[in-house]
Copies of this chain bind each other. A is one copy, B any other.
């Protein structure tokens, strides 16, 4: 299978079938063997760095010349820093405890029947993602460590980078006697490959990471369980008692540290008491960082260059240096705004008031609800999980940042001595 081969469904079916066959090997790999593959992968990534980065540069230049949006081009690039981070990610995963076989629970029923609930690999996992090629390596590492085989469908704009990375992954598997077909990369850029993958019931789960268009395709065509990694319309509410200095720092960090990510803030809600002083400071500081502001009528009085916010902009995941600012009269109004326009991803409150913090955390129904911290911290690495498969916006199986444990399922192991059912 090469990038030049035209897409045909039977190729995809065959690749998925081969990955399924490899799964039975992946499921029972000893921890030591899985770590051997990961350490070798880290070595090979280091050895092949120049080659891989030159493929990545090709993808990047092509994306630029095609006029793709800057947020997307930025995410595509494997800078030296990101490359090192990617290698570190692989060795970090090797260092994580193996989740397979761990006890979730163990008890004895009143009749003396022993019941254990233990972690086992989730199975054959399909991952659909866009632009960032380091995801290829991250997702493979986590799946391998969790005993899962994986079918990867990366973005068309990163295909050269991904093929170079997958070559290295396959080498690391082969050198350790593990079938490389358990890490299957689909090189086709056709949308029908995505549709067919979503319909392939040999997969135990598909994890789609992407924007609204991908999610529409998923809703329409998925015939297998899905863990969505949907958009993040993240809010920060600046409560009446918020510390002004902290507010400026956190707001800047949440908006400008990496605006192309799903945990970047898209709407700032400000309590009306801050209109005279903190609001103008916020507007000035954000404008200095070239943030394009959409404001409510009160906010627009601060600076005439502020555009008009609308329900449409409140529902927009900008993924760029753009931001809504809305002045609200109360905590209730802030919570209502988030319920109406939020995506249930990550929302934060800045406050010194304990009852207000508690109410915000209880009543905002998002995967992560923060107090006095930047929304950008909702991340597997920042949380100290050692890695991240993505941030689930689904309510089932996994919600919020997804680590190694979320790539497992459970199995009941029951032991009796001739026990019967009497009821």
Contact = CB atoms under 8 A, between A and B. Distances in A.
Interface of A: 27-28, 85, 107, 109-110, 113, 115, 120, 122-123, 201, 204-205, 219-220, 223, 225-227, 243, 246, 249-250, 253, 257-258, 357, 361-363, 365-374, 376-379, 381-384, 394-397, 399-401, 409-421, 423
A323 to B, nearest CB: 17
Contacts of A373: 113, 414-420
The number of times this chain is found in the oligomer is 2
A384 B109 contact: yes
Contacts of A412: 367-369, 378, 383, 400-401
Given A243-B418, A418-B243, A411 B368 contact: yes
A418 B362 contact: no
Contact of A416 (B377, B399, B410): B377
A205 B377 contact: no
Nearest to A406: B396
A421 B115 contact: no
A396 B205 contact: yes
- Name the prevailing secondary structure of the A interface residues: mixed
A357 to B, nearest CB: 8
A246 B219 CA distance: 50
Contacts of A258: 421
Nearest to A420: B253
- Most B CB atoms within 10 A — which of A220, A250, A416? A416
Given A123-B395, A225-B395, A396-B205, A372 B419 contact: yes
Given A396-B227, A412-B378, A418 B246 contact: yes
B396 A409 contact: yes
